[in-house]
Amino acid sequence: MPAPAQRRIIFQHIDEPGYTNDIGCYVRNGGYEVLKQAVTRKPEELIDEVKKSGLRGRGGAGFPCGVKWGLVDRKSGKPIYLIVNADESEPGTFKDRYIMHQDPHQLIEGTMISCFANNVRQAYIYIRGEMPHGARILEKAIAEARAANFVGPNILGTNYSCEIFVHRGAGAYICGEETGLIESLEGKRANPRIKPPYFPAVLGLYQCPTIVNNVETLCHVKYIAQHGGAEYAKIGTPGNTGTRIFCVSGHVQRPGYYEFPAGTITMGQLLNDVCGGPLPGRTFKAVIPGGSSAKIMRFGERYKGKRKVGTEMVDYDWGVEDVPMDFDSLGMIGTMGGSGGVIVMDDTVNMVEALANINAFYSHESCGQCTPCREGSLWMKKISSRMVHGQARPEDAALLKSVADQIPGRTICAFGEACSWPTQSFIAKFGDEFKQYSETKKTAKPADAVALI
Amino acid sequence: MNLKAETLSKIDEVITHYPVKRSATLPLLHLIQEDIGHLPADTSEWVAAKLELEPINVLEVITFYPMFRQKPIGRRHIKVCRTLSCALVGGYKTCATFEAEFKTHLGEVSPDGEVTVDFVECLASCGTAPVVLIDDELHEKVDVAKAKQLSDQIKAEAKKR
Ligand SMILES: Cc1cc2nc3c(=O)[nH]c(=O)nc-3n(C[C@H](O)[C@H](O)[C@H](O)COP(=O)(O)O)c2cc1C
Ligand code: SF4
Ligand code: FES
């Protein structure tokens, strides 16, 4: 079956010739009409639309947005904050960048609607430090929106007021984790907080109830406010509503970003039809489907089991190419949709070297609070790098696995899982390659081989 | 601390963005680093006094975040992405090219004082890998040829000065 057509609702104007990131262009294209409508409605109605839409967070965990908003403590009398998570640092993910650089007003409109719905008076956009241009573009866009009375005091003649400020990070991946982000925004090291008790919805920024949502999620909210939750839920499949943006990188002919109704496209269609297949003369070997921490899939392996279709349970027997790219299907076969970052590796890649690259990332980025994560990520890096640059032993595979197995479930934040899943899954799927690596190293590499570590 | 008047006024403005002064720690460090090029030894004391904190509260922030540096670097900062998607299409060669072009090693100031080359983690532009951030400017699909071209450009600009 050929791939379905792209449906761009969030990326509608990305790369559109003549489309600029100023407010004039946005308004000419119908911008801020949804906000004008929204502020005439009851906030609870807007929250209901989001609940009905089934929207799941696009930052990585896929948590239902309406449910998250429902958990906010509205009785404490404390102010409620909203933080836009624009830290975009999960390797393989690069969608929020384009929204912020090319269509910043879409994000600001979505943010203001979400703030109004949740009675938020102060929002912050936490953008990663390595996007100085993005920060300036957002600051300019906020100033424009403020001048037009879409942000600031008494928005559109109502007595509702809300400010947005841009806050820049400074190069630490862990600031993407929502409680690490909050600590960072408070001016501290980004050490994630322990939950319970520090659920952001109750004890977030300055110990006040706080909503943290991803950039893309808030753009979906704008679309939902415009078309209604029920209409939105018709896009995609039940449980995986709306569209999904895939960021494809690595060894394909046409890497890039592609937006499809959720659950309608398979991995094979995405990589072969949409991205043009493998590079000339090569074959696909492995793919990471949802950011670098998602468990790896090996081409040639099969996934079998029973799944729910409508009300019935049916058998499935899938190859990698057959797996639908939605949260539930990817979860069912033991990996995850995560942030939508799809990293493709072909037959030129040695898995030990690829893992060593990933391990170097996690070891560099552990915040260091929890011993299993700090020490474990360091040892996984040391062992895998030693295998590549020093001596490799057949028993290293088991050693790596034993380190990885001691991390998850024993840490403050989900980074513990994120750093152990690559090692666990690489060893589970490519264990032979790890055991044979000392032999592999004896044969000389082709001259054009790329170094991964 | 010898800061430009413009930096000082930006500092006073940004503090008003937060109900708690301490939140302005990162913004202040960014502003000082943009002004001076790095964070000199008295930064912690100065920021702490400004935000009514203890110097250690600031120092621990400076040492946590990779973007803050306590030593001067070259005139231009070349940050090459090291992470998987970039590495898969030649990021390590790109980095080696910059090192060779400026006869330098990772993290050091090149002998001509012109650049510091660093490896950094994923820059969220993996679809146009390998990517390189030179000061504030992102460069995409930087293969060896493009790395040489960018190096030549930097050298030419240096000559003009
Ligand atoms: C280690 C780690 C890194 C994360 N990085 C990001 C990130 O860069 N961007 C993001 O939006 N969410 C990131 N998240 C998820 C956030 O913690 C949070 O779930 C998300 O911002 C919620 O927004 P959403 O519900 O709209 O997806 C990360 C989570 C973890 C555990
Ligand atoms: S799991 Fe790792 S990143 Fe998360 S809090 Fe613990 S040490 Fe920090
Ligand atoms: S891996 Fe280099 S930009 Fe993401």
B147 within domain boundaries? yes
Do B58 and B83 lie in one domain? The reply is no
Instruction: Give the architecture-level CATH label for domain A23-234.
Output: 3-Layer(aba) Sandwich (3.40)
Residue from A248, A243, A301 nearest A276 by CA: A248
B135: domain CATH number is 3.40.30.10
Residue B85 shares a structural domain with residue B154: yes
Q: What is the pLDDT of residue A240?
A: 92
Q: Which residues contact A428 (CB under 8 A, 6 or more apart)?
A: none
Position B71 in a domain:
no
Do residue B127 and residue A256 have CB atoms under 8 angstroms apart?
A: yes
What is the pLDDT confidence band of residue A447, given thresholds at 50, 70 and 90?
A: confident
Question: B69, B121, B133, B136: best mutation site toward chain A, by most A Cβ within 10 Å?
Answer: B121
* Per-residue pLDDT, A2: 85
| Domains in chain B, number | 2
Q: Residue A1 pLDDT > 80, yes or no?
A: no
Output phi, psi for A306, to 5 deg. -115, 145
Are B98 and B27 in a shared domain? no
Question: How far apart (Å, rounded) are the C-alpha atoms in residues A287 and A247?
Answer: 13
Report pLDDT digits (tens) over A52-105.
999 999 999 899 999 999 999 999 999 999 999 999 999 999 999 999 999 999
Counts of helices then strands in chain A (DSSP H, E): 17, 13
Residue of A nearest to B64 (CA): A189
Tell me whether residue B70 is in a domain.
no
Q: Is the ipTM of this complex over 0.90?
A: yes
Specify whether B86 is located in the same domain as B57. no
Evaluate whether residue B126 is within a structural domain.
yes
Does B36 map to a domain? yes
Q: What pLDDT is recorded for position A415?
A: 98
Tokens 């032979």, located at residue: A432
B93 and B148 share one domain: yes
Residues near ligand 3 (Cβ within 6 A): A 91; B 81, 83-86, 122-126, 129, 131
The domain segmentation of chain A, as residue ranges, is 23-234, 240-346, 351-440
Confidence class for position A446, pLDDT limits 50, 70, 90:
confident
> Do B80 and B154 fall into the same domain?
yes
User: Using the beta-carbon criterion (under 8 Å), do B87 and A88 form an inter-chain contact?
Assistant: no
Give the phi and the psi of residue A377 in degrees, each rounded to 5.
-65, -35
Q: Considering only CB atoms, which residues of chain B are within 8 Å of chain A?
A: 17-20, 22-27, 29-30, 51, 57, 60-61, 64-68, 79, 82-85, 87-90, 92-93, 120-129, 133, 136, 138
Q: Is residue B46 part of a domain?
A: yes
Taking the C-alpha atoms of residue A173 and residue A126, their distance in angstroms, rounded to an integer, is: 12
In angstroms, the CA A89 to CA A13 distance is 23
- Distances in Å between the Cα of A49 and the Cα atoms of A113, A207, A232, A241, B47 are 12, 28, 9, 13, 45
Q: Which domain holds residue B11?
A: 5-64
CATH entry 3.10.20.600 includes domain A240-346: yes
Residue A183, H or E segment: helix A178-185
* CATH number, domain with residue B12: 1.10.10
pTM value is 0.97
Environment class of A423 (CB within 10 Å of its CB; exposed 0-12, middle 13-18, buried 19+): buried
What CATH code is assigned to A351-440?
1.20.1440.230
The answer to whether residues A331 and A263 touch, using CB atoms and an 8 Å cutoff, is: no
Q: Assign residue A267 a region (left: φ > 0; alpha: ψ between -120 and 50; beta: otherwise).
A: alpha
Q: Average pLDDT of A112-127?
A: 98
Contacts B61 to A, Cβ<8 Å? 187-189
CA nearest neighbour of B136 among A132, A172, A171? A132
Residue B161 has pLDDT above 90, yes or no: no
Q: Are residues B86 and B22 in the same domain?
A: no
Q: How many beta-carbon pairs under 8 angstroms link A with B?
A: 154
Residue B52 domain-assigned?
yes
pLDDT band at B49; cut points 50, 70, 90: very high
